[in-house]
Amino acid sequence: MNKLFVLVVEDDKSVRNLIVTTLRTHGYRYAEAPTGEAAIVQASSHNPDVILLDLGLPDMEGAEVIRRVRGWSNMPIIVISARSEDADKIAALDAGADDYLTKPFSVDELMARLRATQRRLAYTVSSAPADSSFVNGALRVDYAANTATLGGEELHLTPIEYKLLCLLCQNVGKVLTHTYITQKIWGKSMESDIASLRVYMATLRRKLEGAGDAQVIQTHIGVGYRMVKL
């Protein structure tokens, strides 16, 4: 598989150099942008496979960059944030970012995220949008029949658990925030909905644990959930 073309958006020159040196070492192609404006221009002219986007940019909020890119493209966006920018990170995910890295991050972590993005891209390209079923490891969801099976055994899910599962499947590989999920499931996002979400997610996960695989649903504390592409 061809290595990805990565657009690196970061105003801090030393961090940017570290990232591009790592990418070069691993054979990735890349372009660099030090500002949000430059990022939007480069995203449209180079059409990268993935954007690595620092949230602390001098000229605009990271979420604004995402909203503008999302106006015409679904390219994967991985945001990079400092721990003090947790609220910005969640805003970025709500604006349509796919994943995040928290500074300071290791080179191994960065490479792992890019590989995960590559797997997700390969998966998205190979599965036709009209697919009426979804398969991930031992899990199979048949959208037409409204059923889910694990290793061939039917899962007995409540309607809300099933809706949650479908939402995670349709966004496999992507971190979904509490707000995003509760909006999709209940059409609103109050504190109480987020508390209910935790309960539903816990029971859904218990039902899925039979797989014996790595945990298929990851919890991102204070952020949300992700279904991992197995």
Per rule CB under 5 A, is residue 54 in the interface with Ca ion? yes
Question: E-strand spans in 116-174?
Answer: 133-136, 139-142, 147-150, 153-154
CB of residue 212 to Ca ion, shortest distance in Å: 42
At 83, which amino acid appears? R
Neighbour count for residue 190 (Cβ, 10 Å): 10
Across 215-229, b (16+ Cβ under 10 Å) vs e yields: ebbeebeebbbbbbb
Residue carrying the six token digits 């061939």: 152
CB of residue 182 to Ca ion, shortest distance in Å: 30
Per rule CB under 5 A, is residue 85 in the interface with Ca ion? no
Per rule CB under 5 A, is residue 56 in the interface with Ca ion? yes
CB of residue 11 to Ca ion, shortest distance in Å: 5
Stretch that binds Ca ion, among 32-40, 56-64, 82-90, 196-204 (CB under 5 A): 56-64
The residue at minimum Cβ distance from Ca ion is 56
Per-residue mark of binding to Ca ion, 6-45 (x: CB under 5 A): -----xx---------------------------------
Residue with Cβ nearer Ca ion (82 or 217):
82
Q: Determine the Cα–Cα distance for residues 39 and 21; give it in Å rounded to an integer.
A: 19
Under a CB-based contact definition with an 8 Å cutoff, are residues 216 and 137 in contact? yes
Binding-site size for Ca ion (CB under 5 A) equals 4
Q: Please tell me what DSSP assigns to residue 106.
A: -
